[in-house]
Structure 1
Amino acid sequence: MDKRIEKLKEINIILSKAISKSNKFWFEHILPSQSSTLSFEEAEKELNAILGEYPNDANFWRMLSNVKTYTMDYADAITALEKAIAIENKQKDKTQLMELSAHKDVVKPKPKVKKTTSALAKKDLPFFKYHPEPTLTGAFETDNVVTCDCCKKPTDVYYTGPFYSVDDIDALCPWCIADGKAAKKFEGSFQDDLNVDEVDDKQKLLELINRTPGYRGWQQEFWLAHCNDYCAFKGYVGWQEIEPLLNEFADIETDLANAGGLSLADLPKYLKDNGSCQGYLFQCTCCNKYRLYYDFD
């Protein structure tokens, strides 16, 4: 496969994760959340590297412009988009450039310095088979020091996502999720066991619902499976993020039909990260094929 296509896929995933946890909208004049900053920096680093090899690829300049727009570096975003226009001269880019230019004088605020005294922050995070990058997907927040409702210890890595329990839970640390203490103590689960694909192994189901951080959907979250095992949740996506991956899906047409009836031709119009039609990307832990779920607000 062409190195540029492979890089485009990799950086798209990084960028979509950064955007999904940035806690801001397009041209909203606030800095992205601290938890997303590292992902934006990683995407920018990868883009600068690949542009050194392929300076005439407009796709990478567009992506760099997107990064700079989210981080409120509007002058740099304009420069990158102008380079894309010089290469391909697309009307869509010109329209976006006009919109960008209207924000060029907005002053970027100074980032708040994160202070933490949490001893837990120095510990390695546990690995979650079905949610392997929870800080990148935004499942774990890292912008404050809180007390875990389960172990009562301070932590600056914590979960506030879906948890089905009669108790009112504010935050859970990764370690109480991974060892099952949180689910056991509060008799709860992180995923409704009725809203999962069928897998012929009860232990895998228990690992998913009791020891795996969930994700946030517009409606009821659904967890996909493949190769008789639950898939890994990879993040929140729109058409822009999945288009380079279309050849790597197990059966995207079936996924679309099962989720709500959209066709592949509908996706460029409707599917948008942080939009009214939100996509959720999963990947098989066995064959690495992708699967897609989506819902509407």
Structure 2
Amino acid sequence: MDDRIEKLKEINILISSAISKSNKFWFEHVLPSQMSLPLFEKAEAQLNAILKDYPTDTNFWRMLCNVKTYTMDYAEAITALEKVIVLENKQKDKTQLLELMEHKDVPKPKAKVKITKSDSLQRALPYFKYHPEPTVTGAFETGTVVTCDCCKKPTDIYYTNPFFAVDEIEALCPWCIADGKAARKFEGSFQDDINVDDINDPEKLKELVERTPGYNGWQQEYWLAHCNDYCAFKGYVGWQEIEPLLDQFADIESDLAKAGGLKLTDLPNYLRDNGSCQGYLFQCICCNKYRIYYDFD
């Protein structure tokens, strides 16, 4: 007897766990949350491996189709389901294929959150008080050597998030951001100084808008403050990411009301990482309390 039954159970549990963490519905055109993507990738790798041994097993092809549907790889999902139909020719699969075909031209959006690491980076990254983990949040990209538009030096870690300037800027290295050189050279800013909380220290505002990597919102980005200082941007979140932190927020109901009027009880139904209602998590650098902002696509 082969190992297909046990493998089927194992992969099914993995896929169910990924779906439960995905923060999306079937055929909802948003990416799964970052918590679920590694699980989907693991399931796909296991399915591809076992399909090499059992290429005519329709159960595994159907599971691969489901994984690819959730990750919005619709063309690959269609290919997997077409193999099932060739092998079994069942009406339920044909019906699902028709539904899939309606979504085949939907573009897969670029993930906002990227966990990146540069193996070839020679210099230690500068520290940004208001954005302490810019590679984790995706503010900096790695993996390709580009030329910094400011210092004209090659860099394998570079900024591609919002930068408000007259000139069209494609890439900036972290060091030109940290010392303010990029903002001075291009007379630009990384955050609109109107869309920030009010504090009574112009030097802190200058550090935020001129020497801090920004984040990428659906609409106009807004930066929160607490304890008379700007908060640190922690990343993109949905309900699943903030639910364990609810007792650590300064005043989440007030934050929700100011951002657009959602109530705390609305968040399980609306707030999703990489979803139509995107959350942006901040943390006070003085008392460590969390604050949240959100917007819609």
Q: Please tell me the TM-score bracket, short chain as reference.
A: 0.5 to 0.7
How far apart are 1:73 and its partner, in Å?
A: 4.3
How far apart are 1:283 and its partner, in Å?
A: 0.1
How far apart are 1:69 and its partner, in Å?
A: 1.2
Query: Separation in 2 of the partners of 1:171 and 1:71?
Result: 32
Aligned position for 1:295:
295
Query: Separation in 2 of the partners of 1:153 and 1:252?
Result: 43
- Are 1:25 and 2:45 counterparts? no
Q: Structure 1 residues 103 and 66, CA, compared in 2 at 3 Å: closer, same or farther?
A: closer
Corresponding pairs, count: 211
Is the 1:159–1:171 Cα contact (8 Å) retained in structure 2? yes
Aligned position for 1:7:
none
Aligned position for 1:43:
none
Is the 1:74–1:100 Cα contact (8 Å) retained in structure 2? no
- Report the aligned-residue RMSD: 2.9
Counterpart amino acid of 1:173? C
Is the 2:40–2:67 Cα contact (8 Å) retained in structure 1? no
Alignment of 1:1-297 (within 5 A): 25-26=31-32, 67-70=38-41, 73=44, 75=46, 102-103=66-67, 121-297=121-297
Query: Separation in 2 of the partners of 1:71 and 1:144?
Result: 25
Deviations 1:94-150 (A, max 9, x none): xxxx967844998xxxxxxx9x997xx210000000000000000000021110000
Query: Separation in 1 of the partners of 2:42 and 2:222?
Result: 32
Is the 2:31–2:275 Cα contact (8 Å) retained in structure 1? no
Query: Separation in 2 of the partners of 1:100 and 1:275?
Result: 23
Partner SS, residue 131 of structure 1: coil
Deviations 1:148-202 (A, max 9, x none): 0000000010001111111111100000000000000000000000000001101
Counterpart amino acid of 1:220? Q
Is the 2:151–2:176 Cα contact (8 Å) retained in structure 1? yes
Deviations 1:48-103 (A, max 9, x none): xxxxxxxxxxxxxxx6x653214554649xxxxxxxxxxxxxxxxxxxxx967844
Q: Structure 1 residues 281 and 117, CA, compared in 2 at 3 Å: closer, same or farther?
A: closer
Counterpart amino acid of 1:130? Y
Query: Separation in 2 of the partners of 1:241 and 1:278?
Result: 12
**Contiguous gaps of at least 5 residues in structure 1:** 1-14, 17-23, 28-39, 41-62, 77-97, 107-113
Partner SS, residue 144 of structure 1: strand
Q: Structure 1 residues 146 and 286, CA, compared in 2 at 3 Å: closer, same or farther?
A: same
Q: Structure 1 residues 101 and 244, CA, compared in 2 at 3 Å: closer, same or farther?
A: farther
Query: Separation in 1 of the partners of 2:119 and 2:243?
Result: 42
- Greater Cα radius of gyration, structure 1 or 2: 2
Query: Separation in 1 of the partners of 2:164 and 2:277?
Result: 24
Q: TM-score, normalization: structure 2?
A: 0.65
Query: Separation in 1 of the partners of 2:172 and 2:243?
Result: 35
Counterpart amino acid of 2:282? F
Counterpart amino acid of 1:238? G
**Contiguous gaps of at least 5 residues in structure 2:** 1-20, 23-29, 48-61, 69-75, 78-115
Counterpart amino acid of 2:284? C
Is the 1:74–1:103 Cα contact (8 Å) retained in structure 2? no
